[in-house]
Amino acid sequence: MPELPEVEIVVRELRGQITGKTIQTVQAIWPGSVEQRVDRSPVTGQIQRIDRRGKYIIMRLDETVLVVHLRMTGQLLFFDDTRPAVDGHVRAIIYFSDGSCLQFKDVRKFGRMYHLVSEQEVMKNVGTDALEMDSGHFRDMLKNSKMGLKAFLLNQKHLAGLGNIYCDEALFLSGLYPGRKANSLSATESGRLFRTIRDVLQAAIDNMGSTISDYRDTKGNKGNNQNYFKVYSRENMPCKHCGTRIKKIKMAGRGTHFCPQCQK
DNA sequence: CTAATCACCTGAAGGC
DNA sequence: TGCCTTCAGGTGATTA
């Protein structure tokens, strides 16, 4: 579910909710969801600051870091009081010394909470955050890749943060066919794609993220951006630009929506 | 290097 | 109602 905009909303809320709080214990209800990679040290300490790169949430403690990736169905739910798991899908709970808690709910169990010395242990293949990228670097990466655009944009090592939804949206608004080779773009097309990606992500943040089914913010609220999709989930519906039926095909292993008329 | 497939999991939705 | 198949926002390993 969560791509860059959804993770950004969660991070912004968490900053206000848990910065400065001290972790008392972490209860791993489903052990597979929590990876302890710090020898002889339980997860404790004060949360100094919270960062985000791509879809990763990085909570910086005194000596270590707690990194969370929500993958498909993960949610971080904050509560002012101490309470047991709110339902059977809660995989871990962080209890703070002031009595509040953060519950990590994840239906499909793909998400992870990592306790690490450095976030690089799990983020060595994650590139520059999509909102921190500059157009020159983006153009250089495109020029040096023979991948199709869809696969290129989904690959987190180039640009971190885009997932299936915002890839399809950005390619539609750029007028680019998802199978188009990255190194075939002109300077104009590259610049347009760069700006479109940034605008699509920013608009989604302004709309509190997209909720297809599982995404919730830390208070359990859904996003609103799903009401503004231009192509994603619009198979067989008329293109908002030209009226042609939107097609859905499988590309780079993912459902890919596009307008056969507008995207070349 | 690039592309395709599978694996990891559970639940919802559609076909029969 | 029930069974079976397919699909889902992600990523990493493996195999052509």
Predicted pLDDT at A202: 98
> Rounded to two decimals, what is the model's pTM?
0.97
CA of A225 to C1' of B6 (A): 32
Q: Provide the CA A60 to C1' B13 distance, Å, integer.
A: 41
Q: Which residue has the tokens 């042609």?
A: A244
DSSP state of A32: G
List of protein residues whose beta carbon is under 7 A from strand B: A 32, 89, 107-110, 145-148, 151, 181, 213, 251-253
| Sign (positive or negative) of CA dihedral A8, A229, A110, A182 | negative
pLDDT in tens, chain A (264 residues): 699 999 999 999 999 999 999 999 999 999 999 999 998 889 999 999 999 999 999 999 999 999 999 999 999 999 999 999 999 999 999 999 999 999 999 999 999 999 999 999 999 999 999 999 999 999 999 999 999 999 999 999 999 999 999 999 999 999 999 999 999 999 999 999 999 999 999 999 999 999 999 999 999 999 999 999 999 999 999 999 999 999 999 999 999 999 999 999
**A253 CB neighbours strand C below 7 A:** yes
The verdict on whether A119 is a catalytic residue reads no
Going by C-alpha positions, the residue among A99, A157, A139, A129 that lies closest to residue A8 is: A129
Q: What is the pLDDT of residue A41?
A: 86
Which strand C bases fall within 7 angstroms of a protein CB?
Answer: 7-12
Beta strands in A84-198 (DSSP E): 90-96, 101-106, 112-116, 128-129, 159-160
Active-site residue (options: A53, A55, A60, A234): A55
Whole-angstrom Cα distance, residue A151 to residue A180?
10
Q: Is A68 helix (H, G, I), strand (E, B) or coil?
A: strand
Distance measured from the CA of protein residue A163 to the C1' of nucleotide B15, in angstroms: 30
pLDDT for residue A11: 98
Q: What are A79's strand-pairing partners?
A: A101
Question: Of chain A residues 4-23, which have a beta carbon within 7 Å of strand C?
Answer: 6
- How many angstroms separate the CA of A87 from the C1' of B8? 22
* Lookup: nucleotide whose C1' is closest to A56 CA: C10
